[in-house]
Structure formats: structure tokens, C-alpha cells
Amino acid sequence: MKPALQLRLSQSLKMTPQLQQAIRLLQLSTLELQTEIQQMLEANPMLDEDEQNELPIDTGFGPEDNREKPGDAEAAVERMPGEEDSWDHSFTSVPSNPASAPAPDQTRDIPDLIGDDLRDHLLWQLNLSHLSVRDARIAGALIDSLDESGYLTGPMDDIFAALDDLGPEPDEVEAVRHQIQHCDPLGCASVSLSECLTVQLKELAAETEGRDLAIQLAEGHLDRLARREFDGLAATLGASAEQIKQAARLIQTMEPRPGALVPSGGPQYIIPDVYVRKIAGKWQLALNETSASRLRVNEVYRRMISSAKAEDASYMRAQLQEARWFIRSLETRNHTVLRVAETIVERQLEFFERGPEAMQPMVLRDVAEQLELHESTISRVTRGKYLHCSKGVFEFKFFFSSHVTTNDGGAASATAIRAKIKRLISEEPPRRPLSDAAIAKELNNRGIHIARRTVAKYREAMNIPSSSDRKHKL
């Protein structure tokens, strides 16, 4: 062995502090953004609110060939809106020099407080477990994907897309998910009722009577237990019918909706990020003024830099650079949100005209390819952002759904199919409710190729009882 020189080529992604800040602001909701802006105004004397400049009222669609063509995801996040954009809007901006800026704090992104909702309650407990920065990011993404009952209902692909810059392994995400499951309340971040109940049962003392049998029932026999097949389960598991009933009573003491145990802390109000209006027969978009807070550099302090002492001038220059980059990051965020909202409205025009039954199939990749952005960027934009239109207020993610093949070789949106199923059930004869097979046959007659089990899945997702239960309620 002796020292030697070797020449190697490798590729790596270097994320500048400015790019990290732009990505972080991009995924904030309107309320979170307001808090971030207020904290920056209090911490940086070079920043001021500009109350004189006015935002545009509305923006319409422009020709396809006038849109920007970003080269890659990072460039798309970092670049400024150009004059060639199809959006006729402007923001308060200050020319800046893209020099080095202070690196962001590398501490864990978990609040050190007990919150009033499930998210804050879980994050507070994880903060006490001293997670690494990497695991804290994964935990935040998982907790953000929980529904009101505490279940992880969204696809894992969305979570990996939100953590694209981190590049976690599936085993890492699974380990953090198991850690969340054992926080209070037990069972949160489970993907099914079976898993949720199993986690809670395994936390019982080993000597608890009926515990092991209850775990077996929860893991693979909940459907038969719901049908009260006590004798059949007894034969399958080698136990008596009385033991099966005892284990069933133990399962009934568990909490099927652990997330509901944590109070929500009052009503949660939604502030739309984008307004969609139809003016003179044309759909137009406007950015919410609240989310497009107008900031500017304090000119008084900026002029003082040249006459300040060397130490003071160095501090003021650093604050000035930070203020300029924060303003640019806000402009980039607002510009990207508008571009994504424009694409959604363009591709879902039938929804805005006719309602959910006209929804078109669309996934994150469709918007990413049209805007030439990365899927992770679109995932960040659509999380926690809302659109207000004549049909109501909808999260951006509402407009994304999978597709079902039609008889003519086309595709129908899963959201539209659910709306059609709901309409068929609402119009059915009260004393002769439609079965799932009858609904599937009717949809097939309308050109939508769908199986009975898929109809049942969509019906259950909308909390609509089966045909026998609907008839029984009469």
C-alpha cells in the first residue's frame, strides 16, 4: 500500500441556503407563511411592509408559447418571474446580489410546546425523544399526512415526493412511523384498522386475559368477527366460542379512531391562496393579498450602511442580504403557486363549469411535465394550499385523482366516478336501493369500465351504507 492520486467524476446536488429557504417557504400554508413573515419583520430591521404598492386584481390565461420554460426543479425554484410570463402580475421587488447568505438553523424542525391539535401533540412527544434532524423531517411529513382519525391515508409516494431532497430509504420512514404509532394516543400513523388495534393490544400487559387471542383476531379476522362468526373463528384458532367472545370484548375496549381523542382546539379556518372567478365569460385567477404580503427594504437603514462603523456596517449588510433573499423567495413562491393554480384550472375547466362529475383524471406528474418542474415541487405547492371558486373552497390536492379506463379507451377521474355513484344512490328508489353490482352495471352502460368491488370501495370511502343497510333504515 502506498499513497496514490486518482481522478474521479461524480454528480451531487449542492443546495444553497437561498434554495433551502425558497423550498421551505414553498411548502408553507397561508397561515404558516403569515407567521414566518411576521417573525422575519421582527427579527430583521432591514425589512418593512410596503403598504403603498398594490397587487393586481385578476390574472387570466395566456398563450402556451409565452410561458416560462425552466430547465430543472432547482432552477425553477430559484429563478425570478420574467417579463415574458403569461401572468400579468407584479410584486414588490428589490434588486439583489446573489451573494452568500447566512445558513439556516440546522436544529430540529419540531416545536418545543404542547399544541391544541393532534399534529402538535405528536410533535411535542417526538421532540422529547431527541430525534435527529433527518428523522424529524420524516416525522413531520408523516404527521402532516394523518387524517382526523389519526390514520395514514395518503399514498406513500406523496410522502417520498415531499422528502425528495432528503432521499430517505423505505426502512427509515417505516421506523419513524412505528415510533409515531407508540406515541400517545396509541395507534396513530397506522394504515388500517387492523394495524391500529394490534398496536394498542400489544401495549397491554402480557398477562391480560385474552390478549394473545385478541391480537390474532385483530391481525387477520376482523371481518369475520364483525359478522359474529364466533363458532367458525373458534374452530379456526383452536379456541372455545366463549374465549372468542372474551377476546372480542377486549378488542371493543380499544380505540378505533385514536386521533379523535385529541381535541382539535376549536374551528380551523381556511384562508384561500388563490381566487378563481369567471369574468366576462373567462376564468381568471387572483392571488390572495394575505398570502402575497408586500415587503420592501427599509431605505433609511440601507443608506446608513455607508456611514456606519465597520462592525455595524458588516451586520447591516448581512441583514440587508437576508432581507433581499427573503423577498425574492416570497416572489418565487407566489409565482409558482399561481402557475400551478393556472394549470389546474386549465386542465379542470369542466369541473368549474359543471361540477365534480366532470372532473378529469390528473396526477402530479401531469402538472410537473407541463410546467417542467419536479414532482416534489408540485407536491410542496399543493400541500396546504387552497383555491376558492363558485363551487366552494378546495385544497389543490382535491383536483388530483387516479383514473379508471372507459369503454372507448379513454379515462375517467376517480373523483368524477365517486360523484356519479353518489348521484345514483341519491336518485334510487327508497324501497329498492341499488346494490354495488347494479351501480357497476349502470356505470358500465354509461361507458365507465368499473368492477363491483371498486364501487364498494368508493361507496365506503364516502361513508355511504350498503344497499341492505340503506333499506333497513326505512
DSSP string for residues in 204-252: S-TTSTTHHHHHHHHHH-HHHHHTT-HHHHHHHHT--HHHHHHHHHHHH
The pLDDT, as a whole number, for residue 257 is 92
Angle at 387 between CA 141 and CA 77, to 5 degrees: 55
Q: Prior bond to 185 cis, omega within 30? A: yes
- The C-alpha atoms of residue 254 and residue 196 are separated, in whole angstroms, by 9
Q: Which amino acid is it at 268?
A: Q
Per residue of the chain (474 residues), give pLDDT as tens.
678 888 888 877 667 777 788 888 888 888 888 888 888 888 888 888 876 544 443 444 443 333 333 333 334 333 333 333 333 333 333 333 333 333 333 333 433 334 568 888 898 898 888 888 899 999 988 998 898 899 998 788 888 888 888 888 889 999 999 999 999 999 999 999 999 999 999 999 989 999 999 999 999 999 998 888 889 999 999 999 999 999 999 999 999 999 988 876 566 678 888 999 988 888 899 888 766 567 888 888 888 888 878 888 888 888 888 888 888 888 888 899 999 999 999 988 888 888 888 888 888 888 999 999 888 888 888 888 899 998 889 999 888 877 666 655 566 777 888 888 888 988 888 888 888 888 888 888 888 888 888 888 888 888 888 888 777 554
Identify residue 24 by its one-letter amino acid code.
R
**Would you state the pLDDT for residue 128?**
87
pLDDT at 89: 36
pTM of the model: 0.53
- Length of the chain, in residues: 474
Q: What are phi and psi of 441, to 5 degrees?
A: -65, -40
Domain 401-472 matching CATH 1.10.10.60: the answer reads yes
Contact 265, 116 (CB under 8 A): yes
Is residue 155 classed as helix, strand or coil in its secondary structure? coil
The domain spans of the chain are: 17-103+271-389, 118-181, 193-261, 401-472
